[in-house]
Amino acid sequence: MTKIIDGKLIAQNLRDDLKKEISQLKEKHNKVPGLAVVQVGNVAASSVYVKAKTKSALEVGISIIDHHLEDKTTQEELISLIHKLNNQENVNGILVQLPLPNHMNEQTILDSIDPSKDADGFHPLNVGKLSISSKNDDNLLIPCTPYGCLIMLKGLNIDLKGKHAIVIGRSNIVGKPMAQLLLKESCTVTIAHSKTVNLPELCNEADILVAAVGRPEIVRGNWIKNGAIIIDVGINRIQKEINGEIKNKLVGDVSFSECEKKASAITPVPGGVGPMTISCLLRNTTIAFKNSIK
């Protein structure tokens, strides 16, 4: 029987553990981790994400330093704010909500964050540490979505060593760091993407398939072998006929109804990888806090 991996439950368990740890840290050091959340403009989706991240942070005992800037804020003004946050003792993690307005260079902004306060794990220095470290060190600030995927895989209580893992997607946010994390678990890793030749045949060799390509339901049931583990990172909004009506629906990069029949374990969309991302952001903030008081 296929196991449906419950991302909501795993994410809640992680937050519960963080809440206990932060309570102990507060008792010992008389302070708690602080997360600065910076949003520029009023993109509706960004506001929803920021609200969810803020709510979860407060739930575990992390203090929030909120900065909501106008869309017309210049890149120089944003970098100036980040430099101030870099020097604030009560700020241990800095999150700049993406996307940013078109007049800003996202990489320049992310590069201006102090690597030791990089809650998203996107700074080149942290990317480099992830690449050269020999294991998935608990002190590393790791991109949140791929680390959440790894937690899910480890929660299945299987031996990852030697498993053939295929990652569809080569983004800096998910695909590349996901491959690095799986390599450190001694998986044999293949990175594929939308231009990979014979992608269905390649995926059919995977013991573990991580889909993060951003194409609705591109992975079909005949792409995977029996017993494969499927982690679906995709979040796509499509229109679908449901009971004779055209409705908006969230789907992943995997055809869940087809692949569920063959997989040994699979993440749903929604309710799979998504909730893990926020919990891992809180994990990074807590790690940054602990690193600062060593």
Q: 108 pLDDT band (50/70/90 cuts)?
A: very high
What is the pLDDT, as a whole number, of residue 245?
Answer: 80
CATH label of the domain that carries residue 215: 3.40.50.720
Taking the C-alpha atoms of residue 161 and residue 163, their distance in angstroms, rounded to an integer, is 6
Which segments of 114-261 are extended strands (E)? 164-168, 188-192, 208-211, 229-232, 236-242, 245-251
Q: Catalytic site residue 207?
A: no
Closest CA relative to residue 277, chosen from 3, 10, 5, 4: 10
Q: Are residues 264 and 181 in the same domain?
A: yes
The identity of residue 83, as a single letter, is: H
Give the tens place of pLDDT for each residue, 119-165: 999 999 999 999 998 777 778 999 999 999 999 999 999 999 999 99
Q: Which pLDDT score, from 0 to 100, does residue 139 have?
A: 86
Catalytic residue, from 118, 120, 207, 232: name it: 120
**Residue 182 reports pLDDT greater than 90:** yes
Which residues form the domain of 262? 143-274
Residues 6+ apart with CB under 8 A from 81: 38, 67, 69
Q: Is the pLDDT of residue 115 over 90?
A: yes
Residue-level pLDDT at 241: 73
Catalytic residue among 53, 163, 176, 184: 53
Q: What percent of the chain has pLDDT over 90?
A: 88
d(Cα 45, Cα 145) in Å, to the nearest integer? 17
Q: Examine the residue annotation and report whether 97 is marked as an active-site residue of this protein.
A: yes
Cα gap 10→152, rounded to integer Å: 7
How many structural domains are present in the chain? 2
Asked if residue 82 has pLDDT above 80, the reply is yes
What's the pTM? 0.93
Rounded CA-CA distance 99/114 in Å is 20
Query: Is 53 among the residues known to form the active site?
Result: yes
Instruction: Kindly report the CATH number assigned to the domain that includes residue 110.
Output: 3.40.50.10860
